[in-house]
Amino acid sequence: MSSRQSIRDVAKAAGVSITTVSRVMNTVDYPVSAELRERVIEAARQLNYSPNRSAQSLRKNAVDVIGLIVRDIDYSYFGQIARGVTESALDQGCMAFVCNTGRKLEKEYAYHELLWQHRVKGIVIAGGGVADARYAEIVTRQTKRMQAAGLKVVALAPQGAEMPCLGYDHQALGRRMTEYLLGIGHQDIGFLAGPSSVVTSQRHVCGYRSAIEEAGGVFRESLVACGAFSEEGGDKTCRQLLDGSIPFTALCAGNDDIAIGAIHALRERGLRVPEDVSIVGVGNTPTSRYTRPQLTTFDTFRYQTGVRAVQYVLSEIPAAEWSENQIAAACPTPQLIERNSVAAR
Amino acid sequence: MSSRQSIRDVAKAAGVSITTVSRVMNTVDYPVSAELRERVIEAARQLNYSPNRSAQSLRKNAVDVIGLIVRDIDYSYFGQIARGVTESALDQGCMAFVCNTGRKLEKEYAYHELLWQHRVKGIVIAGGGVADARYAEIVTRQTKRMQAAGLKVVALAPQGAEMPCLGYDHQALGRRMTEYLLGIGHQDIGFLAGPSSVVTSQRHVCGYRSAIEEAGGVFRESLVACGAFSEEGGDKTCRQLLDGSIPFTALCAGNDDIAIGAIHALRERGLRVPEDVSIVGVGNTPTSRYTRPQLTTFDTFRYQTGVRAVQYVLSEIPAAEWSENQIAAACPTPQLIERNSVAAR
DNA sequence: ACCATAATAGAAACCGTTTTCTGATCATGT
DNA sequence: ACATGATCAGAAAACGGTTTCTATTATGGT
């Protein structure tokens, strides 16, 4: 009565073979007569039977699980991705392991191995890809191994990594942010980026730089500061810029959290946003609508990206066919949301 | 070369039996001679062997996985719990299924069944427990069944549900918030709660009410409004109160997101925080330090709670011995963080 | 009446491990 | 030299399902 019922128990209770039980549980109509079907279902219900996934997976050589690797699940950026991933996985009957690395390489390796051992169907990597040579090498090797075994890996990152990627162009976004500010009259623009070791940050700054230079300005190292992708990071990097000798009238932030931290820092120094300094963020987090001032930001559709990533991972599309077209179709271009943290000059 | 190597392949390569391979992989020293051990390890390395978890689980009748049920993983409240849960699970070699319900009962049932089929070691329920009679009944039944099978279930909720619980007393917190505001001279205090169907909200209001009444005030239905646990919810409920006929000088918010939304609403109506209206939140989210004004709030240590929940789930402590003492030890009392959203009257 | 065929149910093999049980080898004490 | 026990390795039985293959019965056409 207490412990777990197996398919044998059901078979015995229904007076049939386990083959029949299996067929009743798995196929909708074909190979069993209606009467037996009824008897089996009733027996299973009575015994509260539910199949053992480990056994199923072992025999079918297929596990209905995917892995999601994130840097910090408690950041809204990753939270939104995780929601997209878990929801759309569930739609297809899949569970998702959430793997939080906290930017620790050892953890990421450990998770890779664990996911591999679990024979997951696929892995969505969000916020891995630290620009560590050792890391890149190991992950690339791992990924190759996985793909060879039919496991789908997709990085929620701009193209370039040696695996299927799903991400908008961060460099283009850095450029757009800057051009937007230039376009409304700002000349002295700073960039508050994420960690310098993260490719996203590097590309942001890259795009920022090219926009500045193409507009005939000069790129100043000291108008760029790198820090954590958090309010605290934004607060610190902004103070850095304020303590520098170069004045600025506008700021790009690597994400909305950074922007919020920066606004805080500016306020503490007696500067008004957007009257004294304009600021534009990335992410369009729920909070960004409700800050003071409300944040002008670029929506990057993280939820959607999570959904799409799972669609790829659980599809039959082989990695090789994951072309640029599909990426473009799967990943909408960031969209400017104009609110009140930016003023024309 | 391509596909997955099994223990048999390793055995063949090393020229030993699969028994020996298994022993080498699993036991640290005992039953195998040093020479064979070396040979096996080398063979496994060469073949890139890693054990199949499904097979292990089937044989050992134990799965190194736990489930985490959350309402909205992209809310910092649940994100922090999830980080605590996943990190501390990994410390013990466990993976965690993250199950996002979005307040949908069907999803929660589906996840319960799935977790049960996967034979997970335990389940941490955060933000389930919707006050739906049908739900309560089903979940209670489910939980009983699970516990009978040795599966550990813990709800991150105040005591009272018919399962081991791990949570501070929400009613006491509602009371403390109110008393704090009363203590510094406020008389007309409103409460912006979460959804009325969520027990947490009900208890908050309960505590709020008793504090008001014990102070000799009268509880006014129309100074309480229920909405989503989000900025948007706070914005709406706050407007509701502002549109009411009863004036107020202070507000309690069910969480920090609500508080942020409320501040936004107040500002839009030309009211200043805290000069015109004081507001106190719950959660001490990262953002709360950087809003304007910085939020006075109660830290509820969600990360810690997640960690402790996993400690219980993966421990050998039977559900029956999960006493009130342990809960008290495991779950710190919320701590007031005084910042700038509250002013004395 | 009889044979071919379809429909249905069961027996047994298999998935990749762990673990029990058995067997061989070897050192040791008499 | 021989029994005794310790040490080490392998054979085989599980774990709980799915699936292939076989056997039985029912059906239908001549």
* pLDDT by 10-residue block (mean), chain A, 345 residues: 80 91 82 81 92 96 96 92 97 97 90 95 82 73 82 80 80 97 97 91 96 96 95 97 96 97 96 97 95 96 94 84 66 93 95
**Does domain B7-51 fall into CATH 1.10.3720.10?**
no
D22 C1' to A40 CA distance, Å: 23
Structural domain boundaries in chain B? 7-51, 63-167+303-314, 170-299+333-337
A31 CA from C4 C1′ (Å): 21
Model pLDDT, residue A45: 92
A 56-115 → B contacts, CB under 8 A: 57-58, 63, 65, 68, 72-76, 78-80, 82-83, 86-87, 90, 95-100, 102, 107, 110-111, 113-114
Q: Which residues touch strand C (CB under 7 A)?
A: A 15-20, 31-33, 35-36, 55, 58-59, 61; B 4, 6-8, 18-19, 22-23, 25-26, 49, 51-52, 55-56, 58-60
- CA B221 → C1' C11, Å? 71
Could you give the CA distance from residue B52 to residue A119 in angstroms, rounded to a whole number? 7
Which of the residues in chain B have pLDDT under 70?
A: 1-3, 29-31, 128-133, 158-162, 323-330
Q: How far is it, in rounded angstroms, from Cα A188 to Cα A122?
A: 45
Domain A64-167+303-314, CATH among 3.40.1190.20, 3.90.550.10, 1.10.287.610, 3.40.50.2300: 3.40.50.2300
Query: Alpha-carbon Rg of chain B, whole angstroms?
Result: 26
Distance A11 CA to D20 C1' (A): 20
Length of chain A: 345
Residue A250: the pLDDT is: 98
Any strand D atom closer than 7 Å to B140 CB: no
Look up residue B108 and give its two tokens: 């929660």
Token representation of residue A165: 């990627």
**Minimal C-alpha gap between B34 and chain A (Å):** 26
Mark residues 222-281 of chain A whose C-beta is closer than 7 A to nucleic acid strand D. none
Q: Which of residues 23-52 of A touch strand D (CB under 7 A)?
A: 23, 25-26, 49, 51-52
Provide the pLDDT for residue B160. 62
Spatial separation of the C-alpha atoms in residues B184 and B175, rounded to whole Å? 14
From the number of C-beta atoms within 10 Å of its C-beta (0-12, 13-18, 19+), residue B179 rates as: middle
Confirm if A169 and A214 have CB atoms less than 8 A apart: no
Distances (CA, A) of A254 to B35, B272, B336: 55, 30, 31
CATH number among 3.30.70.270, 3.40.50.2300, 1.10.3720.10, 3.30.43.10, domain B63-167+303-314: 3.40.50.2300
- What H or E segment, with its residue span, contains residue A115? helix A105-117
Could you tell me the two tokens for A332? Answer: 């909408």
Do B178 and B252 contact (CB within 8 A), yes or no? yes
User: Helix (H, G, I), strand (E, B), or coil: what is residue B298?
Assistant: strand
Q: Which CATH superfamily is domain B170-299+333-337 in?
A: Response regulator (3.40.50.2300)
Fold matches, A7-51 and A64-167+303-314: no
CA nearest B96 in A: which residue? A97
Q: Which of A127, A260, A254, A126 is nearest to A194 (CA)?
A: A254
Q: Does B339 touch chain A (CB under 8 A)?
A: no
* Phi and psi angles of residue A75, each rounded to the nearest 5 degrees, phi first: -95, 140
CA–CA gap between residue A133 and residue B76 (Å, rounded): 32
